[in-house]
Structure 1
């Protein structure tokens, strides 16, 4: 415990002032009482002599002295009752405050530390400290706990109140209140400035509505493109661009049907007769995309004479790019459409494809033609199988009737396709060989007799077997047991087995 210190000179002077003030007040009270006593004596003497005027004067004097005495007794002493707040924190649960007589300006405040200190007389202490008689010692413990010791018994109270407010902050707040200043004014200005940088929600909603109104539907875009394509003032480049944009939209089934119902499909079909190869190619591309897996558009195209115009492009000298697009449109029109297949065979479509297949330099077109033939054969076989549809309906029966009118296999045998298709086996492309083998198997019922007499086919099959056996071994070494070459080898073995069957 630290050594007790002697009272300071300031504290002693303050005690002297308080004592002097009490003596002055006591003297005034004593003099007033003496005056009242003498006045009362005079009043009694006058009363005995019966002088009325004198009695009134004495009564008035007595009243004056009584008022003076009451004023002196009720006058507030210059001493002030001062409550000192702790600069660190106040004590929880204590309502009493340490009171010290003296001027607030001269009052010293005790600041506790982490060591025990003696609480001197005349010092202000934090609120919540229990003042009792005896020796007082105070220190600040852990977590801002104010601990004190009275007569050797140490006690403690934890500071749980919030942070104190400084005198400067209180003065500033009072100044704002007096001046009528709103502390939130600056915040409002900042919010207004921030709000000015953005559009209100109502305006944004209106803008979004206007954008939706300006947005074109697919049908409106197609109508605009068709009008642009059909315009007499449009250049070839503008028409080609319109067709390319239109091709992107007609991939969707609904858009293609809307194009057909609005008359735009007929304009595209008529463009196949254009003298400009670029328009022929672009129009064929649009037709191929619009006809793919879309029966409604396929029927519309058949009735519009599309097959004749496409076969004309394939049968006459045209650039390879035009023939590729035209063959793409033919494949899209014939796939899953027995009506189109029947018209195609009647118009001599197999003969046109045979001429292209036999022409030199048509390697890329050959594999496309063989693919078309395989799809047509396979579709009829699949639709003829029992139980293809879980619940046969009128549409299924109608498809059976339409496919029955397509006599493709006999025409293939008659027009020499039994010998044309195996020519793809000499191709270096594995994909072409695979498609040729699948088509040979599909045509086997009508071409088996001719295959057995074709020694070139037998030798080609044997050579391919040896080649793919080695490739399969390579796949197995690499860990691929069921690889692509294994599938081709299985097709070869199946074709060889079918040829040996009676």
Structure 2
């Protein structure tokens, strides 16, 4: 026959922590029975040492083995007690939960705590209950739910959506009280917002495009630079805004700005905006050519001694040539892409390479090979290869170009050998040699 000694009013957590000192004492009210002694301070009965007879009780400390329990001995709460039917004696061991915490540390500790002072038990129990009552009486660290809801509602009133921010910025920009410095800050904030496609489209629907073009026409070069930056970020990979920008006169404004005397940093941002407006947009490319765009760029190319504008111009032309070639390559399924035929029709109207030859670009682009920058040379080589179909005859008669290709071939071959000696990878310089070889093969 088995029985499980019952617990007191405290939870098992407290019993485990105070196992050497606590546990509701079990006493024999008769020689053949075990009883659970309740908490003395509970108001409804006894506790640990509830009377003088119980105060003197001896608490037996069990372990994981079955041990004989002597008459008059009590056991800690949670212990397993059984009656040995063969000997008639009661036996006790630790309960299942107690066994989980039965470690060598507990075994060593029990040697010094086998004898429990009932008075000390009562004081400890009373102290625990007082601490619990004091905790209950303290104000809670949590705020009422309704108060939290009210605070959140007030905070929500201060949160602006991107649309609200752009509306506020446009109003501030158009205000006569706004200074130039404030307008510059507004343009910088707008440039950050229009990187999101939806924001750029919303800004245009609010009339923001006319504000940006007005900045491009400003006499303040700082406003021109920042307005061009906003425009380029807004139209980049955003067909809806590209269409609205062309229809709003952005292309003519950008070309006019490039054709006039402007600082280098302004022209760099204007070229960025122009490249973003033309990319993957044959309608804009057609208008760019018809409005003398290549002539304006050629003048800008000749005037740029440093090469940074030349590189940007050549890169833009190369991108336009490449995307037109890609659109006419086989492999696109017209069923999966119904607009493919229409894009081919629009690109067919862009006579870019023919005009490149007519405007003298077959002679201009090779000049970029004179740069000492590897990146500039690479851009020039790629553009020359892309233009080879219309410029090949001029390449063959250009002694300066042929000489540059020969000297560059020797230079990059030496760089490859140097890298091999040092054990470094020669990927980039080997690629440059491949570009030169490809162009030389075409020229022969």
The TM-score, its normalising length taken from structure 1, stands at 0.66
Equivalent residue for 1:337, pick from 257, 273, 281: 281
Question: How far, CA to CA, are the matches of 2:258 and 2:327 in structure 1?
Answer: 29
Asked whether the 8 Å contact 1:285–1:329 carries over to 2, the reply is yes
Q: Helix, strand or coil: the match of 1:211?
A: helix
Structure 2 residue aligned with 1:168: 119
Question: How far, CA to CA, are the matches of 1:229 and 1:82 in structure 2?
Answer: 88
Q: Deviations over 1:209-242 (max 9, x none)?
A: 4433431111111111111111111011111100
Change (3 A) 1:232 1:156: closer
Asked whether the 8 Å contact 2:60–2:74 carries over to 1, the reply is no
Confirm whether residue 427 of structure 1 aligns to residue 427 of structure 2. Answer: no
Structure 1 residue aligned with 2:437: 493
Question: How far, CA to CA, are the matches of 1:323 and 1:170 in structure 2?
Answer: 88
Question: How far, CA to CA, are the matches of 1:466 and 1:220 in structure 2?
Answer: 60
User: Gapped runs of 5+ residues in structure 1?
Assistant: 1-79, 98-125, 129-154, 177-181
Asked whether the 8 Å contact 1:475–1:483 carries over to 2, the reply is no
The TM-score, its normalising length taken from structure 2, stands at 0.74
Question: How far, CA to CA, are the matches of 2:55 and 2:261 in structure 1?
Answer: 113
How many aligned residue pairs are there?
Answer: 360
| Greater shift in the superposed pair: 234-243 or 81-90 | 81-90
Q: Deviations over 1:246-269 (max 9, x none)?
A: 000001111111111221122111
Q: Deviations over 1:315-343 (max 9, x none)?
A: 00111111111111001101111011011
Question: How far, CA to CA, are the matches of 2:94 and 2:389 in structure 1?
Answer: 100
Confirm whether residue 96 of structure 1 aligns to residue 71 of structure 2. Answer: yes
State the 1:95 CA deviation. Answer: 6.5
Q: Helix, strand or coil: the match of 2:387?
A: helix
Question: How far, CA to CA, are the matches of 1:93 and 1:458 in structure 2?
Answer: 109
Structure 1 residue aligned with 2:40: none
Equivalent residue for 1:303, pick from 247, 250, 262: 247
Structure 2 residue aligned with 1:133: none
Structure 1 residue aligned with 2:14: none
More contact order relative to length (CA 8 Å, sep ≥ 6): 2
Asked whether the 8 Å contact 1:418–1:447 carries over to 2, the reply is yes
Equivalences for residues 169-208 of structure 1 within 5 A: 169=120, 184-193=129-138, 195=140, 197-208=141-152
State the 1:434 CA deviation. Answer: 0.5
Change (3 A) 1:227 1:467: same
Question: How far, CA to CA, are the matches of 2:164 and 2:213 in structure 1?
Answer: 21
State the 1:390 CA deviation. Answer: 6.7
Structure 1 residue aligned with 2:262: 318
Q: Deviations over 1:159-191 (max 9, x none)?
A: 8699775331466599x7xxxxx9645424334
Structure 1 residue aligned with 2:213: 269
Q: Deviations over 1:430-481 (max 9, x none)?
A: 0000010000011101110011111111111111110011111223334455
User: Gapped runs of 5+ residues in structure 2?
Assistant: 1-51, 76-88, 99-113
Name the larger-Rg structure.
1
Structure 2 residue aligned with 1:85: 57
Asked whether the 8 Å contact 1:377–1:408 carries over to 2, the reply is yes
